[in-house]
Structure 1
Amino acid sequence: MGKDFYGELQLGILGGGQLGRMLIQEAISYNINVHILDPDKNAPCRKLCDHFECGSLSDYDTVFNFGKDLDMITIEIEKVNVDALEALEDKGVIVYPQSRVIRLIQDKGLQKQFFKQNDIPTSAFQFISNRESLRNANLSLPYVQKLRKDGYDGKGVKMIHTEDDLLTAFEEPSIIEEIVKFQKEIAVIVARNDRGEVRTFPMVEMEFNPQANLVEFLISPSTYSFEIQQKAEELAKKIANDLQIVGLLAVEMFLTEEGDILVNELAPRPHNSGHQTIEGNFTSQFGQHLRAIFNLPLGNTDARSNAVMINLLGEEGYEGLAKYEGIEEILAMEGVYLHLYGKKYTKPFRKMGHVCIVNVDREIAISNARKVQEILKVIA
């Protein structure tokens, strides 16, 4: 990149939440200068980075001016101004993942088109322009409606079971998808650097909170057959190569009741389904993302141990200054690692942290994780 890697490169991260926070923790080991842009003046990254700027991620001028004097820009959230990123690329600032990749993944409709054009298995879908056009949908009820843009962590998703549900469906442009009967939701995180080296983390199994529709419980590595795991990891590699992405890509998938794999959604950044890699794998997803964007050799992704990750969510019925119950009790347990995200205020289902539980015995790891879920609470 024209400069000594160590200590001189100025890295900008769009987004200052928990993913940015954990990226900074890894970047410190490489002596990288990190600049953060986030709309929240109390963002989790604000006290950890070399430079913090409070500003809109969707405003062209704010994003462009933030990045124009930096060497590289990366993201921890997709909802950013892509036009500004394209202008920064034209100016010579390196943007990874590339602006064209972010633009595609910002739009769930374009994602689905990409899957179809590249022979990537996915559920049947249809584009919807507004609520009224749902009445002429080709898919039979029930189906899932997803906003094409701005949906994340379960937001922007509605189940349409009956004609009555059409009255409260999204009005904005969306897609509808056939409901997939699956036995498990799975994910693979893949990294690709600029020299074309590609490496996947082992496939993981996920359980979702039924109310918040976000990952609540994750088990790594999977115990499904080698054939299923290999198929999932090869799919992730194919997508990374088809996109020619530089950086990290999370590929969320369904394992159907028939044993097929369908790709659900993509995230071009570190992801909730990879938090267990910090303690559970030889290289963490955050370290791998930095290796990929700086075109360094990709690290060993093998699992060190069985690892279970649970999201620490704000309890229902509590909103205000966060208080944590049960920390001493869970930290007295062997193989329990706590990560708090530095968020001052809690509200129902807000991601406040995560806990990783490791053990050489998979069943003990799962059992201990269930105990942590019962003990550790975020209240106000």
Structure 2
Amino acid sequence: MHFFSSNFKLGILGGGQLGKMLLYETRKWDIQTKVMDPSPEAPCKIACNEFVQGDLMDFDTVCAFGKDVDVLTIEIENVNVDALEKLEEDGITVYPSSHTLRTIQNKANQKLFYVDHSIPTSPFTRFAYTSEIADSISKGGLQLPFVWKSAQFGYDGQGVKIVRQLDDLKELPNVECIAERLIDFKNELAVIVARNAEGHIQTYPVVEMEFHPEANQVEYVICPARIDNQVAEKAREVALKVSKQMEHVGLLAVEMFQTQDDEILVNEVAPRPHNSGHYSIEGSYTNQFEQHIRAILGLPLGKTDSKVAGVMVNLVGAEGHTGHVIYQNMNEILKMEGVTPHVYGKKQTRPFRKMGHVTIVDKDMSKARAKAQEVKELIKVVSQ
């Protein structure tokens, strides 16, 4: 099949920042794109060949959209999987597949998948409703503290809460959920695995993630992770096992804990480009977005080595600010060597909303990390 400057059409479900960065690559190669998102102001709207406003969870809407493309992919997991399955039955190529996405979309199913395939993960208990948890605690079936996770529709730290006392449960929605043992870990790590339909695989270097203590969002991604080579290899092996068992096509970001005993436990996965790979735009020979396109179209996978050490800083809306966005001190960070800001194109900010990121590259990791801290303190995402 001819992809470049042809009638081939790539469909993308979701028009947020990940889709926007995928479109950098499709425009580079002149691949025709069609994007659907519920928002009329989606970041993808100005960069794709065709934009459709529509509900990603509506069966008929997703089916109608998908019938008009040659290959369909996603930039967000919250889409109608039954519609994807129907499109596959009708001969549309869908990556990641409906089968893969159905496993990942529900965190309880995802955790059961790890258990069934002997993939190390933290112990957990599954509940049909949050209201069942208090009874389990009273009968000794569950002990405080633990991590509560909504089984579905969580993103960017939403749908996750550390429960330290019974009163914490009152704040949570009464939905299907899991309660995970709170892990005492040294580091939170991630490995992105690229895989095409023929089973060819490439892995990106292990990255280290530093999280905001309140928002449960990644603040910094550091590549390469500052860990022993043996631990890095163990993380890579676990990520490859997850990839092999899921048989995904495209990218699979595997988030993991490094315990105090240097064991690796899988936290969760995302079958798409991921926040932990944004550094690759400036730092890698093949960035994660190009690699996803290569994988789903069956093109040769690119080199995943880093050219230089990289640190990514997330730009999120400041607390106390909701409304039309203003980026303060952008000129100051643009004066800094090796610093590249990415603004996602979201016009409205709110506390902790992901509005952009900044990549810092340097031959010296310690200098890159120090500069990242300076960037974090300088730039402010506020409202008018």
TM-score past 0.5 threshold: yes
Shorter-normalised TM-score: what interval?
over 0.9
Cα drift, residue 358 of structure 1: 0.3
After TM superposition, the score normalised by the length of structure 1 is: 0.98
After TM superposition, the score normalised by the length of structure 2 is: 0.97
Contact 2:238–2:264 under 8 Å retained in 1: no
Q: Whole-Å Cα distance in 2 between the matches of residues 168 and 369 of structure 1?
A: 34
Q: Whole-Å Cα distance in 2 between the matches of residues 49 and 319 of structure 1?
A: 28
The answer as to 2:379 corresponding to 1:376 is yes
1:365 aligns to what? 368
Contact 1:336–1:358 under 8 Å retained in 2: yes
Any residues of structure 2 matched to 1:85-234 within 5 Å, and which? 85-134=84-133, 135-137=135-137, 138-234=141-237
Q: Whole-Å Cα distance in 2 between the matches of residues 147 and 342 of structure 1?
A: 29
Cα drift, residue 132 of structure 1: 3.1
1:250 aligns to what? 253
1:312 aligns to what? 315
Cα drift, residue 166 of structure 1: 3.1
1:15 aligns to what? 14
Contact 2:11–2:34 under 8 Å retained in 1: yes
| Alignment length (residue pairs) | 378
2:357 aligns to what? 354
1:24 aligns to what? 23
Cα drift, residue 281 of structure 1: 0.7
Cα drift, residue 168 of structure 1: 3.1
2:40 aligns to what? 41
Contact 1:314–1:347 under 8 Å retained in 2: yes
Cα gap change, 1:314 to 1:132, in 2 (>3 Å): closer
Read off the aligned partner of 2:271 and give its amino acid letter.
Answer: P
Any residues of structure 2 matched to 1:221-370 within 5 Å, and which? 221-370=224-373
Give secondary structure in 2 for the equivalent of 1:205: strand
1:61 aligns to what? 60
Read off the aligned partner of 1:7 and give its amino acid letter.
Answer: S
Give secondary structure in 2 for the equivalent of 1:56: coil
Read off the aligned partner of 1:140 and give its amino acid letter.
Answer: Q
Contact 1:247–1:293 under 8 Å retained in 2: yes
Give secondary structure in 2 for the equivalent of 1:6: coil
Contact 1:15–1:76 under 8 Å retained in 2: yes
CA RMSD of aligned residues (A): 1.0
Give secondary structure in 1 for the equivalent of 2:45: coil
Cα drift, residue 165 of structure 1: 2.4
Deviations 1:132-167 (A, max 9, x none): 321225231111111111111111112211122233
Read off the aligned partner of 2:193 and give its amino acid letter.
Answer: V
Give secondary structure in 2 for the equivalent of 1:154: coil
Q: Whole-Å Cα distance in 2 between the matches of residues 39 and 369 of structure 1?
A: 34
Query: Which structure 2 residue ranges, 5 or more long, are not aligned?
Result: none
Contact 1:14–1:77 under 8 Å retained in 2: yes
Give secondary structure in 2 for the equivalent of 1:121: coil
Read off the aligned partner of 1:126 and give its amino acid letter.
Answer: T
Q: Whole-Å Cα distance in 1 between the matches of residues 192 and 75 of structure 2?
A: 15
Q: Whole-Å Cα distance in 2 between the matches of residues 171 and 274 of structure 1?
A: 33
Contact 2:130–2:177 under 8 Å retained in 1: no
Q: Whole-Å Cα distance in 2 between the matches of residues 131 and 342 of structure 1?
A: 36
Contact 2:18–2:273 under 8 Å retained in 1: yes
Q: Whole-Å Cα distance in 2 between the matches of residues 330 and 367 of structure 1?
A: 13
Q: Whole-Å Cα distance in 1 between the matches of residues 123 and 23 of structure 2?
A: 39
Contact 1:139–1:178 under 8 Å retained in 2: no
Contact 1:160–1:169 under 8 Å retained in 2: no
Read off the aligned partner of 2:353 and give its amino acid letter.
Answer: R
Q: Whole-Å Cα distance in 1 between the matches of residues 171 and 222 of structure 2?
A: 35
1:4 aligns to what? 2
Give secondary structure in 2 for the equivalent of 1:5: coil
Read off the aligned partner of 2:122 and give its amino acid letter.
Answer: S
